């Protein structure tokens, strides 16, 4: 292994990439739940949970963006 090179400083940070991973994973989970929209009991049985998950994901991203950095 060669000596440590100097790192580039600009570009998308790992924090953003992990945020994207969260958004993509969560979108998939919501899609999976919503695929039951055609079951008549969906609104009563499933929607509260799916809505709760959706709100949680948004809150997660917003609070994460607002929170102080790990410095």
What residue ranges bind other proteins (CB under 8 A)?
Answer: 1, 4-15, 17-19, 21-22, 24-26, 28-30, 32-33, 35-36, 38-42, 44-46, 48-53, 55-57, 59-60, 63-64, 66-71
Per the listing, tokens 């292994």 go with 1
- 33: closest CA among 19, 23, 43? 43
Least distance from other proteins to the Cβ atom of residue 37, Å: 10
**CB of residue 61 vs other proteins: minimum separation in angstroms?**
9
Structure-block tokens of residue 20: 């994207």
């Amino acid at each position: 292994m060669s000596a440590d090179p100097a790192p580039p400083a600009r570009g998308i940070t790992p924090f953003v990439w992990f945020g994207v991973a969260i958004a993509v994973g969560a979108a998939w989970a919501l899609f999976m739940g919503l695929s039951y929209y055609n079951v008549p009991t969906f609104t009563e049985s499933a929607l509260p949970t799916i809505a709760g998950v959706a709100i949680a994901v948004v809150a997660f991203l917003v609070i994460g963006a607002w929170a102080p950095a790990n410095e």
